[in-house]
Amino acid sequence: MISRSLPVRPLRAALSAAATALLTLTALAALPQTPAHAADTLGAAAAEKGRYFGAAVAASHLGEAQYAATLNTEFNSVTPENEMKWDAVERTRDSFTFGAADQIVNHALGRGMKVRGHTLVWHSQLPGWVAGLGATELRSAMNHHITQVMTHYKGKIHSWDVVNEAFQDGGSGARRSSPFQDKLGDGFIEEAFRTARAADPDAKLCYNDYNTDGVNAKSNAVYAMVRDFKARGVPIDCVGFQSHFNSASPVPSDYRANLQRFADLGVEVQITELDIEGSGTAQATNYGNVVRACLAVTRCTGITVWGIPDKYSWRASGTPLLFDDNYNKKPAYHAVLSALGGSTDPGGPGNPGATCTATYTTAEDWGSGYNGKVTITAGSSPISAWSVNVTMTPPQKVVAVWNGAAGWDTSGNVMTVRSTHNGTLQPGTSTTFGFTAQRNGTSTPPQLSACTAS
């Protein structure tokens, strides 16, 4: 059964509803949008293990409802994918532009998510003027860049990739040729870390690199540098392992042991850019192994995947992420959630008598928007999970959902909400989920359909 009831209230009740709505909105804005149940999302499951679970985010996608909904529901840390890089924030010398990076930082902090800073000193995405400087000017430009960017974000970033990819690939363990290396020598790295510590003493300072995930010549060289920094008191707090994997560069068998040996130097280890090309069970197994390796290392404090849906990955054709192009959860997602100790959707057949009905009411209405409440009632059999479709009339937009996990269809207008902690219902009993919508000028109420139960 599907029914709708839109309340008609006298003025006093309407005013009090508006006040409640304002309070609700304030609370939504002020409180982290923690998922309804601790173990049903990546972020919540990781948090139960004392870790963060993050995603690389592009400011240009934040306006896409499904992208934002997936980010807000599943993750509790973000890394700007490109927006904090040198060419984004200081394209012209001493002229800083933080607009796109600020958008991501504000989105994250406003929802109780942490932010990783990526990255301060890197040979790539470096504007031409930097490479054109002589040694003295380059040193001062590097320190100025670090200080300005870190000061702008002081107190807002949990970990900074201070230096990125300073070592060569291959067998030599040598430093990579770059304007910094070539003009300032090996010392540029420690100078960058000292400048960073002075700029924001509360941020964790990381060295970040790729192909350092197993024990090899490159990771040995980074290991020797970190050991030397710790011995001499050069400020370093963490090492980032990018962990971009595919068939040419698979998850190494000594991944956990390599993380552990760095952790034993007294630094945190973080998995900073995880993606694994592939699909199905093979991809899921690899993802599960990476998560279990991190959890086995006490100082492995968090994991960031390098994007949300496959379509936005830098390696999109290799479908390396946890969500498909339509934001459906892939087997890899379920493997990660399960490795984190979370509970995956029960779904599937096995309870053929399970049915449910959904009814809609507007709980609070403040004109430009409203809080919708959907009541789910089990039919004549007990159920352990439910799902219902909510169709919105554009340009109405859902901006928050609670007591349910939301996904969106490709049109961006149909939201499928699944049970989280509240899937188990005895016959005839009910539960609710809620959402906040902005009307954007359209008053058509949401339409419910397809209440399914298992």
- Which of the residues are catalytic? 165, 273
Task: Give the residue with the Cβ less far from ligand 9MR, 153 or 435.
Answer: 153
Considering only 125, 177, 281, 449, the residue that binds ligand 9MR (CB under 6 A) is 125
Please tell me whether residue 81 binds ligand 9MR under the rule CB under 6 A. Answer: yes
Interaction pattern, residues 402-421, with ligand 9MR; x per rule: CB under 6 A: --------------------
The CB-nearest residue to ligand 9MR is 314
In whole angstroms, what is the distance from residue 378 CA to residue 349 CA? 16
Supply the minimum distance, in Å, between the C-beta of residue 306 and ligand 9MR: 6
In whole angstroms, what is the distance from residue 433 CA to residue 387 CA? 11
Supply the minimum distance, in Å, between the C-beta of residue 118 and ligand 9MR: 6
Please tell me whether residue 249 binds ligand 9MR under the rule CB under 6 A. Answer: no
3-state class of 22 per DSSP? helix
- CA torsion angle 354 419 406 48 (round to 10): -150
Please tell me whether residue 33 binds ligand 9MR under the rule CB under 6 A. Answer: no
Task: Give the residue with the Cβ less far from ligand 9MR, 240 or 404.
Answer: 240
3-state class of 356 per DSSP? strand
Please tell me whether residue 97 binds ligand 9MR under the rule CB under 6 A. Answer: no
In whole angstroms, what is the distance from residue 222 CA to residue 224 CA? 5
Please tell me whether residue 124 binds ligand 9MR under the rule CB under 6 A. Answer: yes
Please tell me whether residue 273 binds ligand 9MR under the rule CB under 6 A. Answer: yes
Supply the minimum distance, in Å, between the C-beta of residue 211 and ligand 9MR: 11
Please tell me whether residue 5 binds ligand 9MR under the rule CB under 6 A. Answer: no
Contact 305/275 with Cβ under 8 angstroms?
yes
Task: Give the residue with the Cβ less far from ligand 9MR, 312 or 370.
Answer: 312
Helix axes 280-295, 331-339, angle to 10 degrees: 20
CA 224 from chain centre, in angstroms, equals 31
Please tell me whether residue 314 binds ligand 9MR under the rule CB under 6 A. Answer: yes
In whole angstroms, what is the distance from residue 233 CA to residue 230 CA? 5
Supply the minimum distance, in Å, between the C-beta of residue 24 and ligand 9MR: 37
Please tell me whether residue 328 binds ligand 9MR under the rule CB under 6 A. Answer: no
Supply the minimum distance, in Å, between the C-beta of residue 273 and ligand 9MR: 5
Task: Give the residue with the Cβ less far from ligand 9MR, 105 or 363.
Answer: 105
Please tell me whether residue 76 binds ligand 9MR under the rule CB under 6 A. Answer: no
Structural tokens at position 209: 């690199």
Containing H/E element for 407? strand 405-408
Considering only 82, 148, 391, 452, the residue that binds ligand 9MR (CB under 6 A) is 82
Q: β-strand 300-305 against 405-408: which pairing, if any?
A: unpaired
Structural tokens at position 322: 């946890």
- CA torsion angle 128 131 133 134 (round to 10): -170
Residues making up the chain, counted from first to last? 454
* Among candidate residues 1, 26, 15, 7, the one with its CA nearest the CA of residue 400: 26
Residue numbers at the binding site for ligand 9MR (CB under 6 A) = 81-82, 124-125, 210, 242, 273, 314
